[in-house]
Structure 1
């Protein structure tokens, strides 16, 4: 059992005793903050490419003043870094806690954030995930953490379990169940939330038997539809290992320095388009990592699992941004330059039914330019429709869900970004001057509208953590109420009806290896 200790007499800083030993945090702006607490052993040496192992006990009081080192990872997506990587070291599997007070009697709701980053970059200590405002304004305890990404966490090696990054997430949630009470959190009221790959992780956890009972509510912001079949993941692993001059086995790949291994992933990502005849729709994503539907760690896709009732007892809040893919087009310098041929190729590759899907998009959006059609289908396939269909699957399985859509346009990029991918993160955390926020908000300065919408985000998300109700009606397939988050948020019936109907009947199955 964990217990909270009184303030340390020598410094006045808060000390909490966890199951592995005491940790000393810092007092910051009315919160107690603890950084870099190990929740598992460093996954190096004999533990590399294996399931996470419980952290070892330590003697005395461990200083929890600094974020732990991020796991090995690529430098960025399309040339943009995920944020400062921070200290180097092998103790990758650590977590961080923001709490109004480390008082076991407080029993506040707990919000556990899973970062995004295409399953190949990112970490819980990024400045954009500073949880001060979320914890203070929402009266909640917030946890962020690292998990293995890229080849360390998601490469499918012979001799290693699949989805090690997901297993790390389970280990972090187990730590929360065992220890969060001492930090003032209620282990019976845990909400897991994440964006992009973090939302895909949330969706995966909803489908995983190993995660059952570790959380009670879930928030999935921009769920990616990319889940890999074992055949596809193995073929990608073979190509990844070849880039590093190795065989696709855990024993052979483990001979490489963990800090050099991401270079192989980065080299392959730059030329994935060459593999489109084998990898199909996965090739244009430039991301050779995703959860693998291996039948063990992840028994089936989240949509199939939820429709079967796997998460019936978990409240779900899910949504997406109106112009998700515009961010990637902006960064790649594609805005305003998509040709008719390129738009047609994307529509035939990604829309349901190939040429029939292309016709459906053109009929639904007769005035759309090639740029707009390209962005529509990329947004819908990758994030928009997977998010909507997750809400529908939860209903089919007898559960409850709330659906939202962010439509407020980011002021950055001379107004060309719209409600693009990642905009919800600085709005939720209020971190406009950090990470992606610097691109989306010129000078890192929010407008009054942005501050207002940011407060709406935090109020709604933390209300959901407290009660399961974010402040608007549950989703249903008759009236389809959706909270539209704009300058003046409102609830509308089925605001994306034209796009949703195109995807009716489409199943988000594991992406296959093509013949």
Structure 2
């Protein structure tokens, strides 16, 4: 019997590193100086009697299993603004898989580990997306990087009878448990794990911070553009009943399991254009184009992240939180309505999303020089992403935890620069994937400039330095100085740059969205 050498390679197979895990051995591939392993199962396929249930441990295997291709994407809808088209890749039921990029699969090296959680409105996304190719992060930072799939949409987040809530979050916990039990074999340190994610991935990170089942599974966290939408249990159940009705079914695991997972996504997709009909019951969330969010069910997710952090739930977890300056610009431009909105549109948006008793007057007084279209966009940026992100940081700071805040203010060059520092821009900058997925739009037909490459490198160095030391390279946030890293062509540390908005939202509580009727 042969044994792997110090690189985890079998003798005579220099291009095929092999590592031994708790479930069996896997064979990867050397790529650009890294050992890369793809499609390793961390849980059983969630089908059959495992459908709509908490993830179950993956069975072991004999021999050496090839880990050369990404696992199939979880069932999902065809797209949302900015992320259109169903994902391509292998098909099958083995959705719950992990991927690893490591500089050296040697158990003696013990490098820091970064675990990526993708976004996609809790209804889209998969770790095999080219935009999440982690080679630059792993190589530039000398870091082990893990990505994984989790259930989205109906399979992962619909609140139905006969199934635990937040199955997508439970998948994430199972992936982190796999990291704890196996990452040493890849040269990673299970005591130095940082979770990081964007948009719904950042909402997932925020959830994990206050979930008892995730306690102790990571030491640090980075939340990029945290959405403020978390559902109360009554609201989530009402939404699930409407989704099931689209398929002519009851909102139960037994009923929904009679429909193939890839066909059941049609029910969620069919509901989206009808969501405005439910505004009297579901409130402002009907304008978010997704009927899915984490559910504050009292068990899997006991409280909202803001409440949990303020109470000290993650006081010992070092945290980076931030947002992009023009978050909602992406959705506004892609809606086709840019340049067409008037005062009535601005008034409706301000009343719907703004804080306080008279949010329209407050915003117009605070921003007297902004056009109607700018106000329409600004209040939705604030409600959906920027203020939830800032308030998460302030909750952590108030509880005595350490948190660093940033704002991305660099303008995307795509579409003639009209997208500004929009939602999702941090992904191609962080991963260096300028020509993949969202990068195709944000950098469309534009070769990355020296400024873009320098900012991209700055992102990776800050993120990996934080994973290694707990310090991203700028001062921690507190309510006296409000130190914020402004990420732009010339990055600087400043007081929080959106002070006018911060004051408008001071004292606002981000609670679980209620069922209003």
Q: 1:98 aligns with which of 98, 101, 124?
A: 101
Whether contact under 8 Å (1:219, 1:317) holds in the other structure is yes
Return the alpha-carbon distance in structure 1 between the equivalents of residues 453 and 294 of structure 2: 35
Q: Give the aligned partner of residue 116 of structure 1.
A: 119
Q: Give the aligned partner of residue 84 of structure 1.
A: 87
Q: 2:459 aligns with which of 457, 460, 463?
A: 457
Q: Does 1:23 align with 2:54?
A: no
Whether contact under 8 Å (2:414, 2:446) holds in the other structure is no
C-alpha offsets along residues 23-64 of structure 1, whole Å, 9 cap, x if unaligned?
000000000000000000000000000000001001110000
Q: Give the aligned partner of residue 326 of structure 1.
A: 329
Whether contact under 8 Å (2:203, 2:226) holds in the other structure is yes
Return the alpha-carbon distance in structure 1 between the equivalents of residues 389 and 169 of structure 2: 19
Q: Give the aligned partner of residue 339 of structure 2.
A: 336
Distance 1:79 1:212, change over 3 A: closer
C-alpha offsets along residues 80-101 of structure 1, whole Å, 9 cap, x if unaligned?
3267331110000001000000
Q: Which secondary structure does the structure 1 equivalent of 2:361 belong to? A: helix
Q: Which secondary structure does the structure 2 equivalent of 1:97 belong to? A: strand
Q: Give the aligned partner of residue 492 of structure 1.
A: 494
Which range moves more in the overlay, 267-276 or 6-15? 6-15
Q: Does 1:156 align with 2:159?
A: yes
Q: How far off is 1:447 after superposition? A: 1.4
C-alpha offsets along residues 94-147 of structure 1, whole Å, 9 cap, x if unaligned?
010000000111100000000000000001110000000000000100000000
Whether contact under 8 Å (1:109, 1:466) holds in the other structure is yes
Q: How far off is 1:4 after superposition? A: 6.7
Return the alpha-carbon distance in structure 1 between the equivalents of residues 308 and 448 of structure 2: 40
Q: Which secondary structure does the structure 2 equivalent of 1:450 belong to? A: helix
Whether contact under 8 Å (1:17, 1:23) holds in the other structure is yes
RMSD: 1.1
Q: Give the aligned partner of residue 432 of structure 1.
A: 434
Q: Which secondary structure does the structure 2 equivalent of 1:66 belong to? A: coil
| Residue correspondence of structure 1 range 61-460 to structure 2 within 5 A | 61-78=64-81, 80-81=83-84, 84-354=87-357, 356-443=358-445, 445-460=447-462
Q: Which secondary structure does the structure 2 equivalent of 1:290 belong to? A: coil
Whether contact under 8 Å (1:293, 1:510) holds in the other structure is yes
Return the alpha-carbon distance in structure 2 between the equivalents of residues 444 and 188 of structure 1: 41
Q: Does 1:480 align with 2:482?
A: yes
Whether contact under 8 Å (1:51, 1:164) holds in the other structure is yes
Return the alpha-carbon distance in structure 2 between the equivalents of residues 272 and 347 of structure 1: 20
Q: How far off is 1:239 after superposition? A: 0.4
The unaligned stretches of length 5 or more in structure 1 are: none
State TM-score, norm by structure 2. Answer: 0.98
Whether contact under 8 Å (1:137, 1:458) holds in the other structure is yes
The unaligned stretches of length 5 or more in structure 2 are: none
Return the alpha-carbon distance in structure 2 between the equivalents of residues 311 and 441 of structure 1: 37
Distance 1:83 1:100, change over 3 A: farther
Return the alpha-carbon distance in structure 1 between the equivalents of residues 288 and 496 of structure 2: 28
Whether contact under 8 Å (1:70, 1:88) holds in the other structure is yes
C-alpha offsets along residues 183-216 of structure 1, whole Å, 9 cap, x if unaligned?
0000000000000000000000001000000000
Return the alpha-carbon distance in structure 2 between the equivalents of residues 369 and 321 of structure 1: 20
Q: How far off is 1:9 after superposition? A: 3.1
Q: Which secondary structure does the structure 2 equivalent of 1:259 belong to? A: helix
Return the alpha-carbon distance in structure 2 between the equivalents of residues 494 and 201 of structure 1: 24
Q: 2:53 aligns with which of 36, 50, 53?
A: 50
Q: How far off is 1:79 after superposition? A: 7.2
Tell me the number of residue pairs that the alignment of Structure 1 and Structure 2 aligns.
Answer: 512
Q: How far off is 1:21 after superposition? A: 0.3
Whether contact under 8 Å (1:111, 1:193) holds in the other structure is yes
Return the alpha-carbon distance in structure 2 between the equivalents of residues 31 and 500 of structure 1: 43
Return the alpha-carbon distance in structure 1 between the equivalents of residues 83 and 47 of structure 2: 28
C-alpha offsets along residues 283-321 of structure 1, whole Å, 9 cap, x if unaligned?
111110000000000000000000000001000000000
Whether contact under 8 Å (2:83, 2:437) holds in the other structure is no
C-alpha offsets along residues 348-385 of structure 1, whole Å, 9 cap, x if unaligned?
0111125x111111011101111100110000000000
Q: Does 1:60 align with 2:66?
A: no
State TM-score, norm by structure 1. Answer: 0.98
Whether contact under 8 Å (2:414, 2:445) holds in the other structure is no
